[in-house]
A and B are shown apart, each in its own frame.
Chain A
Amino acid sequence: MSAVTFPRKILTALTPAMLAWLLLIALCLGIGLVAASQVLLKGLVVTNMSDTVPWGLWITIDLSSIALGAGAFTLSAAVYLFGIKRLQSVVRLAVFIGFIGYTSALLTLVMDIGRPDRFWHPWVYWNVHSVLWEITWCITIYLIIMLLEFLPVVAETPYFSRYPLFGRIAHLLHKAAPAFALAGLFISLLHQSSLGATYGIVKSRPIWFKPSMPIMFILSAIAVGPALTMAVALVLEWVQGKKQVPFQVLRGIARYSGFALLAYAYLKFWDFASVNYYGRTPAVSESLYLLNQQTPYNFGFWVGEVIIGIILPVILFLAPRFNRNPVNLVLGALMAVTGVVMNRWNVTVGGLFVPLSYSPGTQYTLPPGVYTPSLAEWGVAIGIIGYILLMLTLGTRFLPLFPRQEA
Chain B
Amino acid sequence: MAKKRKIKLELTRRDFLTLTAAAAGSVVAAQALTTGPLSPFSMLKQGQLEGKQPQGEGHGASGPYHWGMVIDLDKCIGCEYCLRACSATNDVQADRPWNIVVEERTSTGTPFFFSRPCLHCQVAPCVEVCPVKATYVREDGLVVMDYDRCIGCRYCEVACPYDVRKFNWEARTDENPYVPTWGIPEVERRPRGVIEKCTFCIHRIDEGLKRRLIPGEDREATPACVNICPVGARIFGNLNDPNSRISQVLAQNPTIRLREELGTEPSVYYIPPREGL
Contacts and interface: CB of A to CB of B under 8 A. Distances in A.
Interface of A: 42-45, 47, 49-52, 54-55, 83, 112-115, 118-119, 121-122, 125-127, 129-133, 135-136, 198, 201-205, 352, 356, 358-364, 366
B58 interface: yes
Contacts of A205: 158
30 contacts: A43-B193, A44-B152, A45-B169, A51-B96, A51-B163, A51-B165, A51-B166, A52-B163, A54-B154, A114-B168, A114-B193, A115-B194, A126-B132, A127-B130, A129-B58, A130-B129, A133-B131, A133-B132, A201-B129, A202-B158, A204-B262, A358-B161, A359-B104, A361-B104, A361-B106, A362-B106, A362-B107, A363-B104, A364-B103, A366-B163
Contacts of B163: 51-52, 356, 358, 366
Nearest to B102: A364
A50 B272 CA distance: 32
Contact of A129 (B128, B134, B165): B128
**Do most interface residues of chain B lie in helix, strand or loop, or is the interface mixed?**
loop
Interface of B: 5, 56, 58, 73, 96, 102-107, 112, 114, 116, 125, 128-134, 149-155, 157-163, 165-171, 192-195, 256, 258-259, 262, 270, 272, 277
**Do most interface residues of chain A lie in helix, strand or loop, or is the interface mixed?**
loop
A274 B160 CA distance: 26
B151 A122 contact: yes
A145 B200 CA distance: 46
B277 A361 contact: yes
Contacts of A126: 132-133
Nearest to B7: A83
A359 B125 contact: no
B152 A204 contact: no
A121 B152 CA distance: 11
The listed residue with most B CB atoms (<10 A of its CB), out of A127, A129, A366, is A127
A360 B130 contact: no
Contact of A358 (B134, B162, B194): B162
A360 B277 contact: yes
Contacts of A127: 56, 130-133
